[in-house]
């Protein structure tokens, strides 16, 4: 707390409940129920306990309360930033944990290594990723590295699930360009539940091309894992999907409730991931502040594009530059979801000088794939559970794709969207959208691994599998649709 002007306009309620600090246990236990009926004792017994956030909070709720006179209706808590983890991280333990989402209350979640969201992997192109997943849940799981091009044994698809108490060893090289990727469970019919209850995290890849741009770093580069959530009567994460999928009652950014970030008067780089099961965010600043998109799922775009709002589907990512130069000490604006009418994240100016940065007109040279002008294959996303009329069967291979050949895939839907279509094993280039919104958007350039299909849309992509042969899946990333069967196995041969 440097001065009063730096305070957020905040904090109405202070949790007075004393928090019992349990002795952390590192012994994995099994059999804890995930989404209801949790007692604190059960959660604590369950293993890894994360209490770090309460202790390291830089901003004291009590101080702010005292100084603000408690006038305001809303509490804002400092944005938590997940700790980083290196390419070789010996253990990735998924298990129930207790975490502080900013308000000082301990809440039951499922966590990777006790963190919610999981730690952010940071690796460079050429690095080897090695880790051992330990299933500390009471149901099968497996971890998929969304956006990473890896071979089948490392892809974490549903056929590779492990039982409670088992380990799965991963080892793969990073063979792709810099970008923000994502890791989360992918067990058959359980992905939606496990992601919603907390198992997800960011995976950042860096490379020389990106380094050359000298983008904002350190405190000026901030990952934002945005999702919605609901709590049960005890305040633990709740999974209660309806036929329209899981829609949470409130937003979380990096697992923080009502998050607030103090910003200097300069440029920030935000690495944004929509980690929701079934919610599309329409992002904009409360004052219309422009956002410069420099990258998406597959890394840097060809050039920067400045926009005032962005529609971000589930599992899609953004690399954004935002200039807070005009935000003076104590002034605040929020990043909002216009559709949900939510404030997602509040920014409060520190008044300190920040960094000056403007991106070059050419960020990256991305060759356009050249491929057929007529679709090689067409996939219709039918109802809430079918692709081309069929529900997923783990043991059926729905199609085979020749290695190294550029194909044009057409994704269509009549309704029940949003259907964010995600393909494992390769990135693609989006070439057209007809029907529905009827156009492509600036954040859909370059390389993508997930493309948003709204009602009545037809989207064509060019795709080429030129790294590995083997079995992969393609599916809808509305996770309840995926769990109900909107997924196909295919084999690259
Ligand atoms: Cu993010 Cu197949 O998933
Ligand atoms: Cu869908």
Q: 3-state DSSP call for residue 169? A: strand
Average pLDDT for residues 171-193, to the nearest whole number?
97
List b or e across 103-115, with b for residues whose CB sees 16 or more CB atoms inside 10 angstroms. Answer: bbbbbbbbbbbbb
Predicted local confidence at residue 49, as pLDDT: 35
Angle 463-303-222 (CA atoms, 0-180°, nearest 5)? 95
Ligand 1 pocket check for 481: Cβ under 6 Å: no
Q: Reply yes or no on whether the pLDDT at 18 is more than 90.
A: no
CA atoms within 13 A on the CB side of 475: 32
Q: Is the CB of 315 under 6 A from ligand 1?
A: yes
Q: Measure CA 60 to chain center.
A: 28
In Å, what is the CA distance from 343 to each residue of 66, 126, 279, 408? 24, 39, 15, 39
**C-beta separation of 126 from 156 below 8 A:** no
- Say which residues have a Cβ less than 8 Å from residue 465's Cβ, sequence separation at least 6: 401, 403, 404, 425, 426, 472, 492
pTM: 0.86
Mean pLDDT, the chain, whole residue set:
88
- pLDDT tens column, 338-379: 999 999 999 999 999 999 999 999 999 999 999 999 999 999
Confidence of residue 95 (pLDDT cuts 50, 70, 90): very high
The number of the ligand 1 atom at minimal distance from the alpha carbon of 315 is 1
Output the CA–CA distances (angstroms, integers) from residue 63 to 3, 9, 15, in the order listed: 11, 12, 13
Note the maximum CA span of the chain: 67
Ligand in nearest proximity to the CA of 481: 2
Query: What are 115-144's pLDDT values in tens digits?
Result: 999 999 999 999 999 999 999 999 999 999
DSSP 385-403: TEETTB---TT---EEE-T
Query: 239-293, pLDDT tens digit by residue?
Result: 999 888 999 999 999 999 999 999 999 999 999 999 999 999 999 999 999 999 9
Which pLDDT score is estimated for 50? Answer: 35
CB 194 within 8 A of CB 185: yes
| Ligand 1 site, residue 146, Cβ cutoff 6 A | yes
184 close to ligand 1 (CB < 6 Angstrom): yes
Express as a percent the part of the chain with pLDDT over 70: 85
Which of 10-24, 57-71, 125-139, 410-424 bottoms out in mean pLDDT, i.e. has the lowest? 10-24
User: CB-side exposure of 17: number of CA atoms within 13 Å?
Assistant: 8
Question: 419 CA to middle of ligand 2, Å?
Answer: 4
Question: What is the CA(392)–ligand 1 centre distance, in A?
Answer: 14
Helix (H, G, I), strand (E, B) or coil at 211: helix
CA of 59 to the centre of ligand 2 (A): 40
Tell whether ligand 1 has an atom less than 6 A from the beta carbon of residue 144.
yes
Ligand 1 centroid – CA 144 distance (Å): 7
pLDDT digits (tens, 9 = 90+) for 210-243: 999 999 999 999 999 999 999 999 999 999 998 8
Residues with CB under 5 A from ligand 2 (ion): 419, 476, 478, 481
Task: Tell how far the Cα of 201 is from the centroid of ligand 1, in angstroms.
Answer: 12
**Nearest protein Cα to ligand 1, atom 3:** 146
Task: Give the H/E segment covering residue 52.
Answer: helix 52-56
Distance CA 422, CA 265 (A): 37
**Cα–Cα distance between 24 and 114 in angstroms, integer?**
11
Q: Is the CB of 271 under 6 A from ligand 1?
A: no
């Amino acid at each position: 707390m440097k001065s009063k002007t730096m305070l957020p306009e905040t904090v109405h309620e202070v949790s007075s409940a004393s928090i019992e600090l349990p002795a952390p246990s590192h012994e994995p236990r099994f059999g804890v129920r995930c989404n209801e009926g949790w007692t604190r004792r059960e959660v604590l017994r369950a293993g890894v306990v994360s209490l770090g956030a309460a202790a390291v909070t830089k901003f004291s709720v009590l101080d702010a309360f005292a100084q603000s006179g408690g006038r305001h209706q809303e509490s804002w808590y400092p944005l938590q930033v997940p700790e980083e983890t290196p390419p070789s991280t010996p253990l990735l333990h998924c298990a129930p944990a207790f975490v502080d989402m900013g308000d000082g209350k301990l809440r039951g979640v499922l966590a990777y290594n006790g963190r919610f969201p999981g730690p952010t992997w940071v690796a460079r192109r050429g690095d080897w990723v090695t880790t051992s997943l330990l299933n500390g849940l009471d149901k099968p799981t497996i971890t998929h590295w969304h956006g990473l091009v890896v071979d089948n044994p490392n892809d974490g698809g549903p056929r590779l699930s492990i039982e409670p108490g088992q380990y799965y060893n991963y080892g793969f090289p990073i063979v792709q360009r810099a970008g923000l990727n994502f890791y989360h469970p992918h067990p058959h019919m359980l992905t939606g539940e496990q992601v919603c209850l907390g198992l997800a995290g960011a995976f950042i890849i860096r490379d020389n091309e990106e380094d050359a741009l000298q983008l904002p770093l350190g405190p000026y580069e901030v990952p934002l894992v945005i999702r919605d959530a609901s709590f049960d009567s005890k305040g633990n994460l709740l999974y209660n999907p309806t036929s329209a999928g899981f829609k949470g009652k409130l937003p979380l950014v990096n697992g923080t409730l009502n998050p607030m970030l103090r910003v200097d008067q300069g440029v920030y780089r935000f690495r944004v991931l929509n980690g929701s099961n079934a919610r599309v965010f329409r992002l904009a600043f409360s004052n219309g502040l422009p956002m410069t998109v420099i990258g998406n799922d597959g890394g840097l775009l060809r050039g920067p594009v400045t926009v005032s709002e962005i529609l971000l589907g589930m599992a899609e990512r953004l690399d954004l530059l935002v200039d807070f130069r005009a935000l003076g000490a104590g002034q605040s604006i929020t990043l909002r979801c216009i559709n949900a009418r939510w404030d997602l994240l509040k920014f409060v100016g520190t008044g300190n000088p920040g960094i000056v940065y403007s991106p070059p007109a050419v960020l990256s040279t991305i060759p356009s794939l050249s491929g057929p002008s007529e679709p090689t294959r067409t996939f219709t996303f039918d109802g809430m559970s079918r692709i081309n009329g069929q529900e997923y069967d783990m043991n059926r291979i729905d199609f085979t794709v020749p290695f190294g050949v550029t194909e044009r895939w057409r994704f269509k839907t009549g309704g029940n969207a949003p259907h964010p279509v995600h393909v494992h094993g390769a990135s693609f280039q989006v070439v057209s959208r007809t029907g529905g919104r009827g156009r492509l958007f600036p954040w859909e350039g370059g390389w993508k691994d997930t493309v948003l299909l709204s009602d009545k849309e037809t989207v064509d992509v060019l795709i080429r599998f030129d790294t590995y042969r083997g079995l992969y899946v393609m599916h809808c990333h509305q996770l309840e649709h995926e769990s109900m069967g909107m997924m196909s196995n295919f084999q690259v041969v």
